[in-house]
Structure 1
C-alpha cells in the first residue's frame, strides 16, 4: 500500500462499457496525486452515473450482487459458446477465453489479406476490430464484442454464417 495503487473500471465487471467510470484504491498520497492530475486532464462522469457507481459498489460490498455475477457469467458463456461452435464448424482459429466479453478469432485459413473486416461490414453490416489495434499486428486476428443482446448476437451469427458461406 505504500508504493502503488490499483485501478478498476465498471465497464466489464458491471456491464457498463462506454460509461468510462472507474476507481482507484491504494496509497493515500498517490491517490491525492492522481486526483490532482485527473482534475486537470479529465472531465468527470455525469453525477447521476457517479451515484450509480457508488450504489453498485455498496451493493457489491454487502454481497447483493452474487446473483448478478452468476447470471452474467452464464449469459456470456452461452454467447461465447455460440461463437466457438461457429468457428469450429468453419475451421477458424479462436482464442478460447471466458474472461471477457470479446471473442478473438483468426481468419488466415479462410481469407487472404486484411480486408475480411471491411468485406464483412460492407456485406452484412457487422463491425469487427482488427487485432493490431490492441497488440501486435499478427495477420488475421479480429475482435468481436458479445456485449449486445442475445437477439442481436444470434442475428450477427446468422449473418456471419451467410458471409462465411460466400467465402467458400
Structure 2
C-alpha cells in the first residue's frame, strides 16, 4: 500500500498545542478523573439570544442560500466600519479597507501568502499564538522570533532589533491584548512601532481579537489604527468570537491599509467562498447592538479573574492581575519545565492548564489559565490547584 508521505511543510510543524493538550486530557479522563479544563480560550457562555434570532431570521431568506460575497456583504463591512468609528474613532472606507474573515485565524493564516515570497523575513513577537509562525512557514518565509519579556511589560524591545533586520523584515506580527501573557499595548509603544514600520517599510499585522475583554475603563485597549500614520503600514485582525461569545460562528474582519486588505482579499477569492450570508447578517446585529452584552461578559470575566488570581497567590504562585483578555499568566513554581508541571497538575488534580513554552521559548517557566469556566466548577478548579501546588 502506498505510504503517501506528508509534504515537507507538514513534517516541519510541531504538534498543534491544543491538540496535544486534548490528547493528554483524554488519557487522564479515561481513568475516570473529573476533568476541569482551563486550557483553551473558548468562551463557555452562550451567544446572546438576539444574535441567534437574527441568524434564524436571515437563514430563512432564500437569497442567503447562494454563494456569498468573497470579501463580505456590504452591510457587514459597513457595520464593521461603523463599529471601529464608534469604538476607536478610526475612520475606515468599508469598500477598500474592510474584508470579512471566516474567523480571524483564517485571515491571519492566509495573510502572509499575499505579501511574502520564499525567503522573506517575518518577525513574530513571542510568546505567541501558534498560527503566526505557521502561516509564515506555509508561505515559504523565514521567521525570526522577537522575545516578549516581563521586564519590558511583554512588549517587544524595538531598539534591540537591528537596522539590518528591520530592512529585511517584510512584516511583524503583534498581538495586544496579548495571548498568552494578557499584556496591553501602550500608546507610546504603538507610536514607536509605527515609526519603525514606516521608516523600514515593514508591514504590521496586528491581532486585536481581545480588545473588548478589559476590566477597567482606564485600561481600555487601543487599536493600532488609532496611531497617526498606522494606516500607511498596518492591517488589523479582529473577531466577533471573543467579544460576543461567537467562536463557533467563524466570523471576523481585517481592516486597515487598503493595499494590505486588497492582497488578503485576492487570496481569499482563490481559497474560500466567503461567510454564509445569514451569519454575516447576524454579525451586523452583534456589532450594532452587542455593547451591553459585551459589558456583562466583562463583569463575569473580572469576577473569574479575581477568583483565580486570589487562589494562585494563596498557593504562593506568582502571577500578575491581567488588565485585559481572559487569561492569567502565572509563574511555574520551583523552576520546573512548564510542560512537565502542567502534566503533573493534570495527573494530580484533573485541572487542565497550558504550558507557557507551547507559545514559544520565552514562555518557558510560565503557565496560562483560561477564564472560560465559571461558578462552582471554577471554584473547584482553584481549590484543587491551591491544595496541590
Q: Deviations over 1:38-95 (max 9, x none)?
A: 23345755555433322211325xxxx2x32332221111111111111221221113
Q: What is the aligned counterpart of 1:112 among 305, 319, 336?
A: 336
Q: Do residues 52 (structure 1) and 282 (structure 2) align? A: yes
Question: 1 or 2 for the larger relative contact order (CA 8 Å, sep ≥6)?
Answer: 2
CA distance in 1, matches of 2:301, 2:294: 11
Do residues 145 (structure 1) and 370 (structure 2) align?
yes
Matched, 1:101 2:326: yes
Q: Aligned to 2:307, what secondary structure does the other structure show?
A: helix
State the 1:146 CA deviation.
0.5
* Root-mean-square deviation (Å): 2.6
Give the distance between the partners of 1:4 and 1:148, measured in 2 at CA.
Answer: 34
Gaps of at least 5 residues in structure 1 are none
Which of 253, 271, 279 in structure 2 is aligned with 1:23?
253
TM-score by length of 2: 0.36
Within 5 Å, which residues of 2 pair with 1:67-86? 67-86=292-311
Structure possessing the higher radius of gyration over alpha carbons = 2
Q: 1:157 to 1:46 in 2, by over 3 A?
A: farther
| 8 A contact 1:10–1:17 mirrored in 2 | yes
Whether 1:159 aligns to 2:384 is yes
Question: Does residue 39 of structure 1 match 2:263?
Answer: no
User: Helix, strand or coil for the counterpart of 2:246?
Assistant: coil
| Distance across 2 between alignment mates of 1:98 and 1:15 | 19
87-96 vs 2-11, greater mean Cα deviation: 2-11
TM-score by length of structure 1 reads 0.76
